A and B are shown apart, each in its own frame.
Chain A
Amino acid sequence: MRNVVDTTPEGNMVLNVGPQHPSTHGVLHLFITVNGETILNLDPNIGYIHRSIEKMCESLSYRQFIYSTSRMDYLSAHMNNHGCALTVEKGLQVEVPERAEVIRIIISELTRLASHQLWWGSLAMDLGALSPFFYAFREREMITDIMEETCGARLTMNYIVPGGVMADIHPDFQRKVKEFIVQFKSKIGEYHELVTDNVIFQNRTKGIGILSKEDAISYGCTGPTARGSGLSCDIRKIYPYSAYKNIQFKEILETEGDSFARYMVRMREMEESVHIIEQLIDNIPEGEFQAKTKAVLKLPKGEFYTRLETARGELGVYIVSEGGTTPYRIKFRSPGFSNLSALNHMVKGHKIGDLVSVMGTLDLVIPDIDR
């Protein structure tokens, strides 16, 4: 632990934000050095929810370790599982049935929608508007119900496994997803009326926390955070994996690099996700939902890396195998970790109130950062 002093030698105040601050959405602790209201320096102190998932995975088999990844970025649980499954499949050289590929993508995009909706509600809440949270949860609840029927859980969901998916989709799945799409499309206008067009909201986000494209590259930012700065980095588009090759969708880019640009990227991404689901929901191929794999998986000696796009950005799964049934070393390159490293640069010179707006549009999930 480091000694927290009230003032620095120059006479500036050191303020603790968190680890129990409502706008950090988890146990993130920030030391901020302030001169009056202006932030001079920010030093994140992370690790409050560090479980050392990487070390735990070293003693888990290739079927077991996937379940701990749902506990990293719990809002992108299915995408985390997908990343692990893809890496294991790469090592085993298993062909995944087409049906499973399509189901995986529908589930991933639903997860992305649910994640962005929670983000939208909580961002508005951080900035002082409580009601959008309930509007967001009205639609999010429909996705959570679909997930509950499909994989039996509402949080820390597990559905994607090496070789395919755990079970076939529920008979009601397609009907419910279509109901959700109708509902979402009729309500997205409300989202914009409530928050996007709000003058107070615009004043608090426009021109705040500017991240240039060069800095986004240097800080290793990914996902909507980097796309708000005009950096084309959507892994679904630039290194297509799974069935994304055959799907029509646009990569959303904004160029301003401020909080409002990051906000708009996520809002437009939600519509793009709906567009992806619409293309697939009536075209789920018939067939097996899981490839035949051995009961005990053994990866050949070697190193395998998968990049994929979660709701927060690029997730990397790096497995070093020595040929056994457990990974020798596993590394999760989490999107939130790199995005957080740019926070100090983004808030320097801003007021304390703007920190909330910048942090909100980075969409940090702390278990994802700490792992």
Chain B
Amino acid sequence: MENEPLLNSLQTGFPEATIAIGSDWPEMSIESTQLLEVIEKLKGSDNWDFNYLFCETCVDWKTHFTMVYHLSSTQFRHSMVLKAKVDREIPQIESVVKFYKTAEMLEREVYDLFGIQFLNHPDLRRLLLTEDWVGYPLRKDYHDPINMIKL
């Protein structure tokens, strides 16, 4: 599906979500509590078939985090961006491992560098940094006077 018809069909499917065209693909913002049901609908539907998670990451907005999921369909070749707001005090969101196995490593990376707790993740451990590392380096308020090179 092209971006325009995809946007329209997403608007019909998710009337309560905010959807807009981003720089490349439709971007849909949802509540983090709805994540699993939205992804189940996106992946399971015959019209969308978003079976391929090609990027999962997080952005620190200082007041809150945003989890960003880039989804595409290997059958229809369309892509979309899914965004979920995560609270900064209690950084928690459901894991999407049961839909996409690639999320296991991607979520471990996000946990490692942003400190977001993924609920029902099979094996949530630090990935790149050592187990005893203090803090989450990609957060905007992270400071490390020894290891961080200011350029």
Contact = CB atoms under 8 A, between A and B. Distances in A.
Given A52-B137, A304-B23, A316 B54 contact: yes
Interface stretch (B33-41, B55-63, B84-92): B55-63
A222 B68 CA distance: 20
Given A90-B23, A305-B24, A305-B70, A218 B138 contact: no
Contacts of B100: 218, 220
Contacts of A345: 101
8 contacts: A46-B128, A47-B129, A56-B151, A220-B54, A303-B23, A318-B57, A331-B55, A338-B106
Interface in A51-66: 52, 54-56, 59-60, 64
B151 to A, nearest CB: 5
Interface of A: 1-2, 46-47, 50, 52, 54-56, 59-60, 64, 90-91, 215, 217-220, 222, 231-233, 238-239, 302-305, 307, 314, 316, 318, 320, 328-329, 331, 333, 337-338, 340-342, 345, 370
B70 A215 contact: no
Contacts of A341: 101-102, 104-105
Given A52-B137, A219-B102, A314 B59 contact: no
A2 B149 CA distance: 27
Interface in B96-113: 100-102, 104-106, 109, 113
A231 B130 CA distance: 35
Contacts, number: 98
Among A231, A302, A328, A329, the most chain B Cβ lie within 10 Å of the Cβ of A329
Nearest to A337: B105
Nearest to B149: A56
Nearest to B150: A59
Nearest to B112: A47
Contacts of B116: none
A302 B23 contact: yes
> Which 10 residue pairs of A and B lie closest in terms of their CB atoms, listed nearest first?
A220-B102, A47-B128, A341-B105, A333-B55, A218-B101, A50-B128, A331-B57, A59-B151, A329-B59, A219-B102
B29 interface: no
B59 A320 contact: yes
A50 B55 contact: no
Nearest to A52: B137
Given A215-B101, A314-B54, A329 B60 contact: yes
Contacts of A238: 77
Contacts of A333: 54-55, 57, 70
Interface size range on B against A = 35 or more
Contacts of B53: 220
A44 B57 CA distance: 20
Given A318-B70, A341-B104, 10 more contacts: A2-B131, A50-B128, A54-B138, A55-B138, A305-B23, A305-B55, A314-B54, A316-B55, A333-B57, A338-B106
Nearest to A317: B55
B69 to A, nearest CB: 12
Contacts of A338: 102, 105-106
A302 B137 CA distance: 23
Nearest to A3: B131
A22 B132 CA distance: 28
B74 interface: yes
A342 B138 CA distance: 26
Contacts of A316: 54-55, 70
A182 B28 CA distance: 51
A252 to B, nearest CB: 17
Given A1-B130, A59-B150, A340 B137 contact: no
B127 interface: yes
B44 interface: no
A60 B129 CA distance: 23
Among A55, A231, A340, A345, the most chain B Cβ lie within 10 Å of the Cβ of A55
Nearest to B102: A220
Nearest to B104: A341
A354 B148 CA distance: 40
A318 B101 CA distance: 21
Contacts of B24: 304-305
A1 B23 contact: no
